[in-house]
Structure 1
Amino acid sequence: MTTEVNAPVDRVWAVWSDLEAMPKWMRWIESVKTLDDPELTDWTLAAQGFRFHWKARITQRVEAQQLHWESVGGLPTKGAVRFYVEQPGRTAVKLTVTYELPGVLAPLMEPSILGGIVTKELQANLDRFRDLVERENASGG
């Protein structure tokens, strides 16, 4: 999934890398807490009456370029976000996420249907992220 943000890459990176603020623009994410190890975070997802917890470790961080992570307990997930300068003041954000369907959902929903729902939600999250960064950038915040 990709979105383009009308803001400099440093600003886009700053907003994304504030992991504890992600619930502002990731609708299903209820909370993100940084643990004693700053590369380790505790996540809570709440959607459609279900709640899932997991811990994630940042496996690669290159300032203003990319951030990779993988879960180390709970919901199996891993992903990466990459930032590309399209032109001065314009940044492309590319998000890649893989996950395993939680066992409790398997009997309730066909994996391909759930995958489509998750993909749409992740793209909507990127769009909300773009809108948030552009609003903050326009207001000087």
Structure 2
Amino acid sequence: MSATATAAAVFASSPATRSPGHLPTRKPRNPIFHGNRFASSSSSRSSSLLGRAFFITNRSIHGSTTRRSSLSTTGIRPFSPVMEWQDCTVKMEMDVPISVAYECYSDRESIPRWMPFISSVKILEDKPDLSRWSLKYKAFGQDIEYSWLARNMQPTPNQKIHWRSLEGLPNRGAVRFYPKGPSSCIVELTVSYEVPQLLVPVASALQPFLESLLRRGLERFAVFAKSN
């Protein structure tokens, strides 16, 4: 083959002169985060960046005063710790008609008479759907005291009463009434609450403790309702 023919063959096989249909297929790099600029298959770089994100998150959770709003090179954003919510549900059969149980529970200002940890409930004169609640109780070696403003949501007569806090201690709940017979019913009380910062160390013990208080409250409520 002549030098001219050899040069022509080499030029024809060059990638720059191949047709699109004959271009070699390149395997895409495996991105760690889809949808942003960070995409690398380097395990060392990935470990470094993920470790950096964990460090920032860990500092945020443990209350460090040094905070960073974002990592512009990776798109990783530290998150603020979210307080844990817990739910407690207790129910009890009572020897009172469902209408009596519903009417007694609707009297919010009477709740401290039978709920152990509620010290006072005051309905706002100008807004009867709002009420101020105070909680006082000694537990876990501490004097626990909280207050909140609650709104009674639209009730379903003889079936459901429910509320949510607007300010103060975050909580919400519902009381449901189920007929059992002409002179008896089942009352089910559910309370959901955000664990206060003060009680985070005992959060695992808080739920069964509150459940026992709510059960004791329903027992006293059954006596209260029967006497009315």
- What is the TM-score with the length of structure 2 in the denominator? 0.57
Between Structure 1 and Structure 2, the one with more strand by share is: 1
Higher relative contact order (CA 8 A, sep 6+): 1
Between Structure 1 and Structure 2, the one with more helix by share is: 2
Q: 1:57: Cα distance to partner?
A: 0.6
| 1:112 aligned partner, one-letter code | S
Say what the alpha-carbon RMSD is for the aligned residues. Answer: 1.0
| 1:119 aligned partner, one-letter code | E
Bigger Rg, structure 1 or 2:
2
Q: Matched residues in 2 for 1:5 and 1:133: separation?
A: 9
Please point out which of 81, 93, 99 is paired with 1:10: 99
| 2:181 aligned partner, one-letter code | Q
SS of alignment partner, residue 32 of structure 1: strand
Count the aligned residue pairs: 134
Q: Percent identity?
A: 37
| 2:144 aligned partner, one-letter code | F
SS of alignment partner, residue 62 of structure 1: coil
Q: 1:105: Cα distance to partner?
A: 2.1
SS of alignment partner, residue 104 of structure 1: helix
Q: Matched residues in 1 for 2:98 and 2:208: separation?
A: 29
Q: 1:131: Cα distance to partner?
A: 1.8
Q: 1:60: Cα distance to partner?
A: 2.6
Residue ranges of structure 1 left out of the alignment (5+ in a row): none
- Show the counterpart of 1:127: 219
| 1:88 aligned partner, one-letter code | P
Cα-to-partner distance string for 1:5-45 (whole Å, 9 max, x where unaligned)? 11111111111000000000001100000012111110000
Is the 1:60–1:66 contact (alpha carbons within 8 Å) kept by the matching residues of 2? no
- Show the counterpart of 1:117: 209
- Show the counterpart of 1:34: 123
Please point out which of 17, 20, 28 is paired with 2:109: 20
Q: Matched residues in 1 for 2:203 and 2:129: separation?
A: 31
- What is the TM-score with the length of structure 1 in the denominator? 0.91
